[in-house]
Chains A and B, each alone.
Chain A
Amino acid sequence: MTREAIAFVRQAACWTAVAVTGLLGVPATAEAQFTVRDFVVTAGGSAEGYRGNLPTVGSPVTDSAEVVSAFAGELALRTNADYRSGSGGTFLFSFDGGVRQFNASGFEQRDYSPREWVGTLDLGYGRALSETVGFRAHTRIRGRELEDRPPMPLFLQPGYRAVEGSLVVDFDGPRGVVYDVELTGAKTDFFAPAFAPQVRLLDREGVEIEAGAVIASGASTLRIFAGVQASRYPKQETFAPEDPFRSDRTFQGGVSWTRQAGYLLQIELDARANRSNSLRPEYDAFTLRALYSTSLPRELSLSLYGAYSVKQYLHASEFARLLPGEEADNASLAYVSLSRSLAMNLDGTFRVGWTRAETEIGDAYFQRFGGSFALHYRPSF
């Protein structure tokens, strides 16, 4: 781990401890209630293949292999809880963290054993301001560290730390429509090893405002949304003295539809237009996402997740387009997951998946495919 990563993990651990201590330490009152909504320990393994020997920023070495494979083992913990105080507010806490160890093979130079550490801490507070107006404040701290990063085609995102804060106001409108406005600020700093300082080019910060309208009817919910995001990349130069660093504006809008009946279905279509003071990263894109779960015989649950993205850069360029954190934004993928209860509090999940996504360098797509098996243990409290 880099020194920055270690410091960040320490900070995150402190925040987690403060949050947990705060929540557990709050005394119960007449209507106060602390509820653990979910607590899941996940252990699993997967076999994956990667194709596409493309350039990437984070890896200092290259390898001529076009296809490589990897076995990975994972251990993770996820929980979310809330505390309803006697004064009517609700505190939200969630944590999701884990470690994934790869054993990769197929490279020409040597075999790699990359290891990912990830953790996300969410803290929130919400309360009703009146019968028709609600308010929420939310912060998120996310960290990621990667050891022994391999060259392409095994693409793994570099380590980073991200901080995000958001404020949301929602209010009931006429005819049962609920409107919401969300203001979000986010900052991401990447961990750059000494031999790859260029990773810091991916650092970015931004602010976004989004407005939405939710229409619920029976078991269905429709949300229409639109927003604009302003991003700044303080390490990416434009080579223009009067406006030296890259800054983008992303306009987006879309619609999502959710139905919860004997099955669960979410479909979302969103379109994005990215404009910049540098022409290279300007693009238009849309993504169609769908998430579907249903029950099958023998107590099996089937879940499907699919996303199809189309992205068009507006200007041809001989220079690399650096797109931190957006490679997944423009991915197409498909996952099929089968799960069932194996014992009390223990679910087993078999999953196969395929992904086509950009590396941090735009307009270059790699592919990942594989299968995994995971156990999800939910202890009783």
Chain B
Amino acid sequence: MKLRRQGRFGVPITGTLALAGVLLGLGVAPAPALAQQPSWGQLEASFELARGRYDNELSRFQQASYQAEQALLDVTAARAAGDAGRLEDAFAAFHGRAFEELTQWGVVAREAERLREAALALIDVLDQREVEVLSMLRRDLTPQSEVALLQDLGRIRTRILEIDQLLDRVGGGFEENLDLRPVISLQEDPRDTPADLRLKAEILDEQAGSYEAIIRNMEVRIAELEQRNQLARAQRDLVADIGRYDDLPLGGRLSRVPADARPATDPADADGGLAQLDPAQQLEFFRAIRDRALENRAFVMEQAELFRDRAEGTPG
């Protein structure tokens, strides 16, 4: 019986293992050092990346905001026309747009937080560099060196000023930026008639309804995401539990197991800022938006109640 076939091939197993180890080592070894002292260039790159993301998301927000304003104009027009069906459609469209606007504002707030962190890290390095240059200027220098250092100093100070101005524009962290989201706040005018006050109360009621829609939408999304997380957890547990003791079909390679199921991002968000967040961050994000919408709804309802009280107490 023929038990063997001619032919032989080398197996560069040791080489592959060693190469993977070396490359992993290269990744591991310098990284802590880099993490301790990121270079000026790296921090500039991180800052510019964060600024690009922020500008991009801000642009999306401005677009969403414009569309929400247009939808509100449609509501006003439908109300003026007295067309109940059209008004209902316009309201539905407005609620959708208002939701998108607020969601996108949340994304902007998150990117603003990241940009702020990157900017502060860069300013730290620029401050250190400024001190170093000033220290060097105190030494005896040739006129050429002094000019070069003064030019360096000028560039550093200009850059710090630019970043400071950007920080003023960007504001604080995520929560602070969410606070800045404008809520309709109608002021009482001494010339307001009871009809004016009732109209203001109605506008605020509509705004409360818009927040209600946002809250419902967020609660649906939170429930969906929690469900997806639960499913992904159950699937990971199943695969891990039966694979742990080699009870699972591993495929052609010892280590192969089915990939962990990750909760999906909403396809509608696939090209938006939410796609960048992992499921836990998405959950945190939706909860923050919902909580903010709850606060805003309470605020406008309180205002509406105030206007109604004033309308009843004001001579017509």
Task: Determine whether B171 belongs to the interface, using a CB cutoff of 8 Å to chain A.
Answer: no
* A86-B46, A139-B21, A144-B246 known; A229 vs B235 contact (CB < 8 Å): no
Q: In the complex, how many residue pairs between chain A and chain B have their CB atoms under 8 Å apart?
A: 284
Do B236 and A38 have beta carbons less than 8 Å apart?
yes
Say if the beta carbon of B78 comes within 8 Å of chain A.
Answer: no
Give the number of chain A interface residues (Cβ < 8 Å): 118
Contact of A355 among B235, B247, B252 (CB under 8 A): B247
A294 CB–B CB distance under 8 Å: yes
B117–A260 contact, CB under 8 A? no
- Minimum CB–CB distance for B245 against chain A, Å: 6
A124 partner, pick from B24, B238, B239, beta carbons under 8 A: B24
Contact of A260 among B17, B23, B228, B239 (CB under 8 A): B228
Give Cα distance in the complex from A276 to B6, angstroms.
9
* Chain A min CB distance to B43 (Å): 7
Residue among B6, B9, B23, B238 making CB contact with A303, cutoff 8 Å = B238
Q: How far is the CA of A120 from the CA of B255 in the complex (A)?
A: 10
- Residues of chain B in range 3-50 having any CB-CB distance to chain A below 8 Å: 3-9, 11-21, 23-24, 27-28, 31-32, 34-36, 38, 42-43, 46, 50
> Do A207 and B249 form a contact, CB below 8 Å, given A29-B35, A278-B5, A335-B238?
no
Contact of B31 among A87, A120, A238, A307 (CB under 8 A): A87
Determine whether the beta carbon of B31 is less than 8 Å from that of A26.
yes
In the complex, what's the smallest C-beta–C-beta distance from B44 to chain A, in angstroms?
Answer: 12
CB distance from B223 to the nearest CB of A (A): 10
Q: How far is the CA of A307 from the CA of B260 in the complex (A)?
A: 17
B13 and A207 within 8 A (CB): yes
The chain A residue sitting closest to B27, CB to CB, is: A125
Q: Which of A31, A91, A118 contacts B46 (CB 8 A)?
A: A31
Determine whether the beta carbon of B254 is less than 8 Å from that of A186. yes
Q: At the interface with chain B, which of A60-68, A103-111, A263-271?
A: A263-271
| B250 A329 Cβ-Cβ under 8 A | yes
Contact flag A325-B20 (CB < 8 Å), given A185-B15, A205-B11, A207-B11: no
Hey, which chain B residues are within 8 Å of A355, CB to CB?
A: 247
* Binary flags per residue of A324-356, CB closer than 8 Å to B gives 1, else 0: 010011110101010101000001010101010
Question: How far is the CB of A95 from the nearest CB of chain B, in Å?
Answer: 11
Flag if B251 contacts A266 (CB, 8 Å).
no
Inter-subunit contact B249/A333 (CB<8 Å):
yes
| B249/A331 in contact, CB under 8 A | yes
A180 on interface, CB distance cutoff 8 Å? no
Q: Among the listed A162, A208, A227, A303, which residue makes an inter-chain contact with B234, where contact means beta carbons less than 8 Å apart?
A: A303
Q: State A124–B24 Cα separation when bound (angstroms).
A: 7
A30 to B34 Cα, complex, angstroms: 12
**Proximity string of chain B (134-161) to chain A, C-beta cutoff 8 Å, 1 when within and 0 when not:** 0000000000000000000000000000
Nearest Cβ distance between residue A355 and chain B, in whole angstroms? 7
Q: Which of B122, B230, B246 contacts A328 (CB 8 A)?
A: B246
Residue contact B32 to A22, C-beta cutoff 8 Å: yes
A140 touches B255 (CB 8 A): yes
A163 to B245, CA, bound (A): 17
CB of B23 within 8 A of CB of A167, answer yes
Any chain B CB within 8 A of the CB of A134?
Answer: no
Instruction: Judge whether B2 is part of the interface by a CB distance below 8 angstroms.
Output: yes
Q: How far is the CB of A314 from chain B (nearest CB, A)?
A: 11
Cβ contacts under 8 Å, B14 to chain A: 185, 187
A238→B1 CA distance, assembly (Å)? 13
Closest to A209 in B: B16
Is A184's CB under 8 angstroms from B253's CB? yes
- Are the C-beta atoms of B35 and A301 separated by less than 8 Å? no
Decide yes or no: A29 and B250 within 8 Å by CB, A76-B244, A260-B228, A264-B231 being known contacts.
no
CA distance A279 to B34 in the complex (A): 53
Q: How distant is the Cα of A163 from the Cα of B8 in the complex, in angstroms?
A: 24
Contact of A238 among B4, B238, B244, B263 (CB under 8 A): B4
Whether A89 contacts B254 by the Cβ 8 Å rule is no
Closest partner residue, chain B, to A332 (CB atom)? B249
Q: Is the CB of A293 within 8 A of B235?
A: yes
Cross-chain contact A339 with B252 (CB below 8 angstroms): no
List 4 extra interface pairs beyond A242-B6, A291-B258, CB under 8 A. A40-B237, A252-B252, A258-B261, A293-B261
7 pairs, CB–CB < 8 Å, chain A vs chain B: A120-B244, A137-B20, A208-B253, A243-B7, A329-B252, A347-B234, A376-B237
Interface residues of B (CB under 8 A from A): 1-9, 11-21, 23-24, 27-28, 31-32, 34-36, 38, 42-43, 46, 50, 114, 117-118, 120-122, 224, 227-228, 230-242, 244-255, 258-259, 261-264, 267, 270
Top 9 closest pairs, chain A to chain B, by CB: A165-B20, A185-B16, A30-B121, A125-B27, A260-B264, A301-B234, A238-B4, A137-B23, A165-B17
